[in-house]
Copies of this chain bind each other. A is one copy, B any other.
Amino acid sequence: MDFAGSHILSVDQFERADIERVFDVADSMAPYAHRHRITRVLEGAILGNMFFEPSTRTRVSFGCAFNLLGGEVRETTGFESSAISKGESLYDTARVISGYSDIIAMRHPAAGSVAEFAAASRVPVINGGDGANEHPTQALLDLYTIRKEMRHRGREIDGLRLAMIGDLRYGRTVHSLSKLLACFERVHLSCIAPAELRMPAEIVELLRARGHTVVESDAMENSIAHVDIAYSTRIQEERFASRDEANLFRGRYRLNQAIYTQFCEPNTVIMHPLPRDSRAEANELDPDLNENPNLAIFRQTDNGVLVRMALFAMVLDVVHLVNRYESRVSWYTGKRFTE
């Protein structure tokens, strides 16, 4: 895949070599994200950070990644626009907005909308989430985190043993991550979900067709006994007919330190796409895990900045220039980043 000038719309665009290139570039972004050095490689460039649906963390993560490369950010933070309510087509919106920036990150509630927008855009578009459809940078940051965590243990993604826990039906995150994992070798995936929220059959079949092992279960404890990663998820309450219906499943799978100690191998990494639901009736990852060094959930969001920096640098074709525009950081950086 040639990244320069490309839209990043779906995990389906990526082959293994593409994924690994993104991750290698993400690795090279760490000195800038961790404030050991600054780079101004994109000084003068403008990101159109078009969030037609609110999402503070994803929006700020994209914006911050662009700033860390030296660029400017113009943005929208929700459906403030009245143009669409006045009957404007997505085609027109895209033609207009793409005249205002060098690259666009976009979130929109309607599945397919980002691809439709990209088709009319005059600049590259990165999908920041289009409803139930795709959120490719989340899947990439998840897999990048897995790679980093495994490498700290002298391992690789090939041969990974992973448990996905919770709402595997509606969580777009686990679907996209599964598709990326399918590009690798010998993955053993445990799908832990209530019968009503099982992983879609086509995802299971895709993984098996590529030679991976998939085991399904509705009980958590024994299924997390021999995995490298336990990937927990939130019940996607907003996708159910009612809150009552969602509540049938909230709190079904709860991981806490006692269960971890009793069932997991000592180095099992805990992940979650966030936000985790910390209310008593859900609490899929108990706060008593916060001091567990294998809790990788905040390393995930930190890694999101690296992955987004990598995509911006690759799509705008400046990877080879990043360190030419670098300088020292002169301000206080007592930041405890997870490296």
Which residues from chain A sit less than 8 Å from chain B, CB to CB?
Answer: 4-5, 35, 38, 40-46, 48, 54-57, 60-61, 63-64, 67-68, 70, 72-74, 76-78, 80-84, 86-89, 91-92, 95-97, 99-102, 122-124, 234, 237, 274-279, 282, 287, 290, 297-298, 301-302, 305, 315-318, 321, 327, 329-337
**Cβ-defined contact, A5 with B278, below 8 A:** no
**Cβ-defined contact, B54 with A44, below 8 A:** no
**Cβ-defined contact, B333 with A100, below 8 A:** no
Give A219 Cβ to nearest chain B Cβ, in Å: 24
**Cβ-defined contact, A57 with B331, below 8 A:** no
Determine which of B76, B78, B277, B316 lies in contact with A332 in the assembled complex, contact meaning CB atoms within 8 Å.
Answer: B316
Query: Which of A95, A274, A332, A337 has most B Cβ within 10 Å?
Result: A332
**Cβ-defined contact, A80 with B83, below 8 A:** no
| Cα-based distance from A124 to B97 in the complex (angstroms) | 27
**Cβ-defined contact, A63 with B74, below 8 A:** yes
**Cβ-defined contact, B67 with A72, below 8 A:** yes
Query: Within 8 Å CB of A290, what residues of B?
Result: 91
**Cβ-defined contact, B67 with A82, below 8 A:** no
**Cβ-defined contact, A92 with B331, below 8 A:** no
A-B contact pairs, 9 of them (CB 8 A): A46-B64, A60-B76, A77-B80, A86-B277, A87-B278, A87-B279, A89-B287, A315-B332, A318-B330
**Cβ-defined contact, A331 with B305, below 8 A:** no
Copies of this chain, how many?
Answer: 3
Give A333 Cβ to nearest chain B Cβ, in Å: 7
Query: Which of A54, A334, A335 has most B Cβ within 10 Å?
Result: A335
Minimal Cβ-Cβ distance residue in B for A330: B321
**Cβ-defined contact, B48 with A44, below 8 A:** no
| Cα-based distance from A298 to B287 in the complex (angstroms) | 46
Given contacts A70-B44, A122-B336, contact A99 B305 (CB under 8 A): yes
Give A100 Cβ to nearest chain B Cβ, in Å: 4
Determine which of B5, B67, B101, B336 lies in contact with A334 in the assembled complex, contact meaning CB atoms within 8 Å.
Answer: B5
| Cα-based distance from A89 to B275 in the complex (angstroms) | 9
Give A4 Cβ to nearest chain B Cβ, in Å: 5
Give A117 Cβ to nearest chain B Cβ, in Å: 14
**Cβ-defined contact, A95 with B331, below 8 A:** no
Query: Within 8 Å CB of A86, what residues of B?
Result: 234, 237, 275, 277
| Cα-based distance from A279 to B86 in the complex (angstroms) | 9
**Cβ-defined contact, A317 with B331, below 8 A:** yes
**Cβ-defined contact, B274 with A92, below 8 A:** yes
| Cα-based distance from A77 to B81 in the complex (angstroms) | 10
Query: Which of A54, A57, A277, A330 has most B Cβ within 10 Å?
Result: A330
